[in-house]
Amino acid sequence: MDTSFHGFLNPSSQLQMGIQSGESPALEFDFPIIDELGIHLLPNTPLPTSLSAIDQDCDFSNSPLLRYINEMLMEEDMENQTHMLQESLHFQAKEKSFYEAIGKRYPPSPGPNPARCLESPDYDSSNNPYSWSSSSSDCGGYLIHIVNSGRVNGRNPFTGFNSGILDIVGEPVKESDFRAKRNRHNVDNEPELENEERSSKIRARDSDIDKLTGEFDSMLLNSMGEGREKYGAYREELKNALKKDKQPRAAAKTRKARAAKKQSKKKEVIDLRALLISCAQAIAVDDTHNANELLKKIREHSSPGGDPGQRLAHYFADALEARLAGGRSPIYKPIAARKTKASDYLRAYYTSLASAPFKKISNFASIRTIINKSRTADKVHVIDFGILYGFQWPTFIQRLAKRENGPPRVKITGIDFPQPGFRPAERVEDTGRRLARYAEKFGVPFEYNAIARKWENIRPKDLKIEKDEYLAVTCMYRGKNLPDESVMGQSCSRTKVLDLIRKIKPDIFIHGVVNGTYGAPFFLTRFREVLYHFSALFDMLEACVPREITERTLIEKEMFGKETFNVVACEGWERVERPETYKQWQVRNMRAGFEQVAFDREIVRDAMEKVKMYFHKDFLINEQSKWVLLGWRGRIVNAISCWKPV
């Protein structure tokens, strides 16, 4: 007997099933909870063989059991649906139980994703300078293509673009919408209502983006005009607030020192870094009791709002506790899925620009280099590996708009890793929409191509490269997130991505790296190195940013905290933070077929003057072996370089 059973639960409508059978199997039900719900099932009921009988028996739209399941699915954490959708692991667990209930093996064989097979026709860009197009691929990623260089029918294209890919990937569903659709058997009969709902969702997203763009224009456009003045004022504001913050702390220290002299008993001096290392050693040898005792002691003396050592210990204790919990895999995905608002990230980013030269100088050197070298080009194409929110590109577009012979046609290909949840390309798509609005604001012809997939799976044709364009490739501090040889062997993702960049033969490749040694496969070695690295960064924030402002907490929690958690608590594929030293990257690049090129002397000189004039005296900037090195109190933190294919 060859019997196949296909079914799926759709919480927004009904249970749909199809049965292909050569004979009628018998099903027996033995569920204690059924009696409590008042549902009575007939045991040993044979399934009907006729299609009409199947249709009648499989109509569960009014089933009490289905209504109960629907209520559980929709009422659980209804107030936080977006968070629920992002944590796809919980969804997968529920999905697995449903597959087991209907007798199918989980996970099912992967079929083509209909969302990835949709294509919307491009607008005729020859007649309309503004257009939108989308494309998709079956190679495990999403590609969105935005063309933005004018107006279509007198309106912004992003308020009415084809929503096939954007909406089908997954949207949070309101409870009221679900209840309204619960008894609907054929949603295909109401296309007008669906189109109206899609349009309202798109308008809501656009209004959020417009609000964000309007509020933070001065933050993103910080290199020219009014934005530059506000940036300078904010930098001085931070310095003044820091001085006021240190005065009461100095007075409190003096009072404590005097009180300590009067006390006969000596207070125990706690070395949190030593405690953290001891705790890591206990975890490494599986000494759970001692590790828990040390963690308890660390918790007593650490705080997210204390001095830099206490703050550092607080986030490292979280990571050690997660590792001690037994590495219940996957432990990092819920942390990675925790979404940081673009507005919060921008505030943290802006504060880091004003307080430390790492991102500021990197943006300055890369943008100035591309602009100088593409001075005569009519088309400029920038491929950004790891674009994230793309906060560095609005000022790039603004400067190109001021070019003497008029702005060139700009294309930006934004590449990022797929995000957890039902909309893996959401962030990179939103980045494109924001950049398109800036291009429209400054009158720069603009195209955006978004790619959200594993970088090693990207093909040259996905990058939409044209022959007559100036091609620049940037990868700023995201190469550390690619798996190395310890995970994939010699043919690792880093080698494949560098080979891809060499194949497309860019005019310039600007590479920024985090100079870290905490990518080692051995836990204790890695723990010590990451502890020393982030001790320097927390010390830097203490010297440059007031303790009480929320932006400092955002930097420490969302940037530093997430990274330390991943390095300490995760292993294997889950450990995505794997930095190398700039010398190791230099060997990689040369082996991949690149030749190093020095930055223009004028750019290096201006960068050194900026660091000396505007930032703390303990920041360092130096040029060595054609690398521009940036660091804090003797420790090199970041390094940037230029390359060309041989």
pLDDT at 36 over 50: no
- Higher pLDDT among residues 319 and 108, named by residue: 319
At CB < 8 A and 24+ separation, what contacts does 172-177 make? 172/81, 172/82, 172/85, 173/12, 173/81, 175/74, 175/75, 175/78
Which of the four pLDDT bands, split at 50, 70 and 90, describes residue 411? very high
370 burial type by CB count under 10 A (0-12 exposed, 13-18 middle, 19+ buried): buried
Tokens describing residue 192: 């007008």
pLDDT at 481 over 60: yes
Would you state the pLDDT for residue 97?
A: 61
Q: Among 51-60, 261-270, 342-351, 514-523, which stretch is predicted with the lowest mean pLDDT? A: 51-60
Dihedral angle over CA of 239, 244, 247, 253, nearest 10: -90
C-alpha dihedral sign at 637, 536, 304, 531: positive
Which CATH number does the domain 126-168+199-251+356-516+580-646 belong to among 3.40.50.11030, 3.20.20.10, 3.30.70.3420, 3.40.50.150? 3.40.50.150
Dump pLDDT digits (tens) for 329-341.
Answer: 455 556 655 667 7
Mean pLDDT of 41-48: 45
Would you state the pLDDT for residue 273?
A: 95
pLDDT at 539 over 90: yes
Which of the four pLDDT bands, split at 50, 70 and 90, describes residue 487? confident
Cα distance between residue 512 and residue 495, in whole Å: 16
DSSP 510: E
- Hey, where are the domains in the chain? 4-101, 126-168+199-251+356-516+580-646, 269-331+518-578
Dump pLDDT digits (tens) for 520-529.
Answer: 999 999 999 9
Would you state the pLDDT for residue 335?
A: 62
Which of the four pLDDT bands, split at 50, 70 and 90, describes residue 222? confident
Q: What's the 3-state SS for 201-261?
A: HHHHHHHHHHHHHHHHHHHHCCCCHHHHHHHHHHHHHHHHHHHHHHHHHHHHHHHHHHHHH
Closest CA to 388 of 478, 463, 482: 478
Mean pLDDT of 603-624: 96
Mean pLDDT of 361-367: 97
**What amino acid is encoded at 399 in this protein?**
R
Mean pLDDT of 303-328: 90
- Is pTM, for the whole model, over 0.75? no
Rg (CA), the chain: 28
Mean pLDDT of 67-82: 48
Write out the DSSP string of 273-291: HHHHHHHHHHHHTT-HHHH
